[in-house]
Amino acid sequence: MKVKSKTLISSSRYSGKHVAVESFNSSHVVASGKDPAKVLLLARQKGYKNAVLLFVPSKNMSFVYTSL
């Protein structure tokens, strides 16, 4: 099985934070912060009902996303 990788967030501005983006096909950040629940709530309050929540690791931190 071939694994595809895609960089959604490359800015160090979001390092160590949770971010909400419009969709998996978008890298447009609509909210960010340390608390994932608050970030998702803020994105929904801004009208992004299907926002995708991601964690941006700090430098030298490994973080792997998987889907089931």
For position 48, what pLDDT does the model report? 96
For position 63, what pLDDT does the model report? 65
Where is pLDDT greater, at 5 or 21?
21
- Residue holding tokens 């992004």? 48
Check the CA dihedral 67-3-27-57 and report its sign.
positive
Q: DSSP 3-state assignment of 35?
A: coil
Alpha-carbon span 68 to 15, nearest angstrom = 26
The closest alpha carbon to 29, from 12, 52, 57, 58, belongs to 52
Given a contact cutoff of 8 angstroms between Cβ atoms, the answer to whether 33 and 17 are in contact is yes
Question: Domain spans of the chain?
Answer: 13-56
For position 65, what pLDDT does the model report? 63
The pLDDT tens digits for 11-55 are 788 999 999 999 988 889 999 999 999 999 999 999 999 999 998
pTM recorded for the entire structure: 0.75
